[in-house]
Structure 1
Amino acid sequence: MDVNDWITGFLDVVQSVEPWLRTLIAGIAIMLETSVLLGLVVPGDTVVIVAATGIEDVVQWAGLVGACVAGALVGESIGFAIGRWLGPRIDAFLARRWPRAAERWGRAERYLRRRGGPAILLSRFLPVAHSLVPLVVGASGMAYRRFMAWTAPACLAWALAYASVGWLAAGSFRELSERLHGAGYVFVAIIVAFLAVVWLGKRWLVRRESRHMD
């Protein structure tokens, strides 16, 4: 089986799942990723890209984007509510049970104090921080409306990027697969190039923002 056959089989499996179910799974995955510390273990990025490869039209694309935005906002709202409810007790609990997590919590607190609203927006694109910052914001006493005003645009930008790239890669492959023997490599190249840009962007952003975290 060559790469075209393998990718065709993979895309057929993804498309065999009902669109509403793919969309629901992606939304739940993003909700879990942005809730508390589950972002450390739930691969929301991967789930969304896989779901996006099954998109067949703009309606399904819009549905996936909407589900991802809604899932992210619900997950971050849960983190915000827990932070508001538990407040300083989170810091003390982490220091007593998980020192490394307490250190990350302290870094997120300092980051929020120094950067304010932009820290909320940028945290969606920072590893670990996107799970911690909603908790920290809730504990800080910031108004929920202000939190949403900063995080919603970031969630929308993230969802647009991931849903669009998955759809573009799968659509390009299906258009080329009957005419180009190496169409599978085009599919892989689009995904790998996007992930490489995301990885480099995150590294650059971490370096740029690290002085505000320490």
Structure 2
Amino acid sequence: MQNFAILLAKVITIGFTVLTFILVVITLVRPEWIESAINWIGELIKSLGNWNYLIAFLSACIESLPIIGTAVPGTNVMILIGGFWGKSHLFLTLIFAIIGAMLGNALGYWIGKVIGSEIIEKYGEYFGLGKTEEKILKKQIKKNGFWYIILGKFHNFTRAFIPFIAGISDMETKKFWLYNMIGSIIWAIAMNVIGIFFVDIYPDILRNLGYIIMAGMLTFLGYMYFFQREKLVKYLQDKNREIEEKIERKSKKI
């Protein structure tokens, strides 16, 4: 059963990655198709009415859970709901999104506190979270816990694992809840504001997506080269050491 759950999670993650790549390619080649799809989604969201509050709650909650949260496009869902529904129903949309995000983070924190180390030991490598990543995240959370929990909400991997690692690291519960509340409020407001602007300008975004992607990649590569090069080299060295130790342990068992 556990192996099936791991396989299912990996299939879902790979599926979403492939789907994202396909959508990017389609957007670059046939932006009018994506524009029509977004228009259809917008009409669907408006027709759902108050059900959008439940969707906002569940997407914010599930995307914050360890492992499965990496495969759930909760941020994308929140942007669309924020734009097409939250634009005229902002207060309640924010409330449900904030509560969902806080509960998802809290559940991840609790799981990490109770059985987190055991989960990483047995299954972490299947999701790109080995001992090297665990050590880095623990160190950063102890040093910059406030910023990691708040800003971690804006990345699909960190939002799923930062609360989890905070639990493993025995972060003080009161401190975690404070950071959790602040981060969830900032995230919910940001996603709704982005959504409101997005629905007004997405045709222009789709037409210029190639330039946007290129600018984003160049910015990222420049940042990594000039500001994170030493940390990246150290991470790769630690990761290679971890892999060699695993191979050695397996060879001894054989």
Aligned twin of 1:181: none
SS in 2 for 1:79: helix
Contact 1:79 1:135 in 2 (8 A): yes
> What residue ranges of structure 1 are gaps of 5+ in the alignment?
174-183
TM-score (norm 1): 0.72
**Pairs within 5 Å for 1:87-166:** 87-94=116-123, 98=126, 100-103=128-131, 104-166=133-195
Aligned partner of 2:170: which letter? G
**% identity of equivalent residues:** 17
CA shift, 1:120, in A, is 2.1
CA shift, 1:199, in A, is 8.6
RMSD: 3.9
Change (3 A) 1:165 1:126: closer
Aligned twin of 2:102: 73
- Shift >3 Å, 4+ stretches: 5-10, 97-100, 186-205, 210-214
Aligned twin of 1:14: 45
Change (3 A) 1:109 1:135: same
Contact 1:124 1:155 in 2 (8 A): yes
> What residue ranges of structure 2 are gaps of 5+ in the alignment?
1-31, 236-254
Q: C-alpha deviations, 1:9-29, integer Å up to 9, x for none?
A: 4432221112x2112112201
Contact 1:126 1:202 in 2 (8 A): no
**Size of the alignment, in residue pairs?**
198
CA shift, 1:198, in A, is 9.0
CA distance in 1, matches of 2:220, 2:97: 20
Alignment match of 2:203 (pick from 185, 198, 211): 185
Aligned twin of 1:26: 56
